[in-house]
Amino acid sequence: MKITRNDLEELDNRDPLNQYRSEFNIPEDILYFDGNSLGALPSATVHRVNEVILNEWGSNLINSWNSSGWYTLSETIGNKIAKLIGADDGEIVCVDGTGLNINKVHAVALKMRKNRKVILMEETGFPTDAYITQGLIDQLEQGHIIRFIKKDEILDAITDEVALVSLTQVHYKTGHLFDMKTITQKAHAAGALVVWDLSHSAGVLPIELNKCNVDFAVGCTYKFLNGGPGSPGYLYVSKRHQGKQIQPLTGWWSHKKPFAFEQNYRPKNDIGQFLSGTQPIIALAAAEVGIDMVLRADIALIRRKSIELGEIFIRLIQEHLIDYDLDIVTPRNGADRGSQISLSSPNGFAIIQALKEVGVIGDFRSPDNMRFGFAPLYTRYTDLWDAVKKLQVIMENDTWRAERFNNPIDVT
Ligand SMILES: Cc1ncc(COP(=O)(O)O)c(C=O)c1O
């Protein structure tokens, strides 16, 4: 039997997460499927940012570094993220951007495996991870190489030449979920270390960094953690690796005694060594609100709804759009994907622009990938129906062919 809109209304009514939607500021006329790129705005963020600006900064001025907890905010938020992704207190700092954090943890990992020169990365992973690593290799000048491999060949490629396996847990284009536990085990058995980029997984699926024995991880807070555009990233360093090697961006915040203003560098020997300089407090405060909200919700319920949203979306595409050349590139099996469904079409760019004009926001990743992300805290089941129906009209009428949908834009 085909799915009806009524079926989906019933699911919305019964949804144990449906109270969260009203905590977000989402325009009535928008169907938002881009929480995998920029999460929606929690209403509480507006209040919190105002409070930080007017009270903590405006009235309390520089005293707030001490009295409002600014000085330790990276660690405070890091400990909250730790609860979400299976780490302990003192293993995560919320700091800098994902790319910078990759630089820090890759540098440390390579020092820990001095005699090995190979870094394994998946060949179609998010480019910044590879670009930053290429920059690091260039700076080190020690003959490291990145070996790019196909996703199905990762386990076989982990040999005793490999220093580091660096992967994104959920692929940004296809939504494919990599097996953190198995890959980490295989890497350790071969004497290699692992770095996981959690940008597309934190906040939408249960993650067990410590149970999986992960060495290092990084991620961003602006996707499913709803931290705001360009909000700070985070990095995880397992306790067993702290205080051994120092990361190279040895700014004063990573010094043992920043306010002693000593001439020579002495590293902190805990997660604080992975800080570098003064952090953007307003942005950190905004990020904290989004993280707090995800922490309040049950991650198992989030994952269950995320998988179900994906299943229903796939069925709706099959039931209403079978006549069009839209291939589903995301794994059909819910356990094998993150929280997005991607369709491929040579006309994907224009179709996504045409959808935006009718209030359906997904995004496009070159050359042919149309991404639809599901954020279980605010995506409604009926949104799926409404979006697929609007897509059907665009496909039936060839609306996407109009010139205005085919003009290049900066951010796709
Ligand atoms: C997997 C992954 N890593 C890193 C980034 C971006 O890193 P940064 O926050 O440094 O721009 C993204 C951005 O979408 C991403 O998808």
At 351-403, the pLDDT tens digits run 999 999 999 999 999 999 999 999 999 999 999 999 999 999 999 999 999 99
Asked if 94 contacts 124 with a C-beta cutoff of 8 angstroms, the reply is no
Tell me the per-residue pLDDT of 219-228, one tens digit each, with 9 for 90 and over.
999 999 999 9
User: Please, what's the b/e burial string for 316-342 (b: 16 or more CB within 10 A of its CB; e: otherwise)?
Assistant: bbeebbeebebebbbbeebeebbbbbb
355 burial class (0-12, 13-18, 19+ CB within 10 angstroms)? buried
Mutate to test the pocket of ligand 1, among 121, 199, 365 (most ligand atoms within 8 A of CB): 199
If phi > 0 it is left, if psi is from -120 to 50 it is alpha, else beta; for residue 141 that is left
Write out the two tokens for 362.
Answer: 């997904």
Question: 172 C-alpha to center of ligand 1: Å?
Answer: 9
Q: Report the candidate in 164, 153, 155 with the shortest Cα–Cα distance to residue 120.
A: 164
Question: Is any ligand 1 atom within 6 A of the Cβ of residue 198?
Answer: no
Amino acid, res. 130: A
Closest ligand 1 atom to 233 CA: 9
- At residue 278, the pLDDT reads 97
> How many angstroms separate the CA atoms of 368 and 197, rounded?
24
The proportion of the chain whose per-residue pLDDT surpasses 70, expressed as a percent, equals 100
Give me the phi and psi of 31, to 5 degrees please. -105, 110
Catalytic residues, by residue number, are 126, 197, 222-223, 371
The predicted model gives 239-258 an average pLDDT of: 97
pLDDT at 143: 97
- Whether the predicted pLDDT of 325 surpasses 90: no
**Token pair 């997005």: residue:** 340
CA-to-CA distance for 317 and 311, rounded, in angstroms?
Answer: 10
Q: What is the residue with the minimal CA distance to atom 8 of ligand 1?
A: 98
| CB of residue 98 inside a 6 A radius of ligand 1 | yes
- Between CA 52 and CA 8 the distance in angstroms is 40
Output the six-digit token pair for 14.
């019964």
Substitution candidate for ligand 1 out of 126, 222, 224 with most atoms within 8 A of CB = 126
- DSSP string covering 350-378, please? HHHHHHHHTTEE-EEETTTEEEEE--TTT
Which alpha helices (H) appear in 194-347, and where do they start and end?
A: 281-296, 299-320
Q: Residue of the nearest CA to atom 6 in ligand 1? A: 98
How high is the mean pLDDT of the chain?
Answer: 97
Which helix H or strand E contains 110, and what residues bound it?
A: helix 98-112
Q: Is the pLDDT of residue 132 over 90?
A: yes
* Contact between residue 246 and residue 105 where contact means Cβ atoms under 8 Å apart: no
User: Which tokens hold the place of 26?
Assistant: 């989402």
pLDDT at position 232: 98
CA 230 to chain CA mean position, Å: 12
Whether the Cβ atoms of residue 205 and residue 176 lie closer than 8 Å to each other: no
165, with CB counted inside 10 A (0-12, 13-18, 19+), is buried
69 in contact with ligand 1, CB cutoff 6 A: no
pLDDT, tens only, 133-170: 999 999 999 999 999 999 999 999 999 999 999 999 99
| pLDDT number for residue 184 | 98
249-266 residue pLDDT tens = 999 999 999 999 999 999
Mean pLDDT score, 17-40: 97
The atom number, within ligand 1, closest to the CA of 220 reads 9
Nearest CA to ligand 1 atom 14: 37
| CA pair distance 225, 177, nearest whole angstrom | 18
Residues 6+ positions from 335 with CB-CB distance below 8 Å: 177, 307
**CA–CA separation, 145 vs 321, rounded Å?**
44
CA of 318 to the centre of ligand 1 (A): 31
In short, whether 172's Cβ falls inside 6 Å of ligand 1 is yes
For ligand 1, is residue 347 a contact (CB within 6 Å)? no
| 126 Cβ closer than 6 Å to some ligand 1 atom | yes
The answer to whether the CB of 133 is under 6 A from ligand 1 is: no
Across the range 285-309, mean pLDDT stands at 98
pLDDT for res 119: 98
Helix (H) or strand (E) holding 165: strand 162-168
Ligand 1 neighbourhood includes 233 CB (under 6 angstroms): yes
Q: Tell me the per-residue pLDDT of 69-109, one tens digit each, with 9 for 90 and over.
A: 999 999 999 999 999 999 999 999 999 999 999 999 999 99
Dihedral in degrees, nearest 10, Cα atoms 312, 318, 319, 322: 160
C-alpha to C-alpha distance for 46 and 93, rounded to whole angstroms: 24
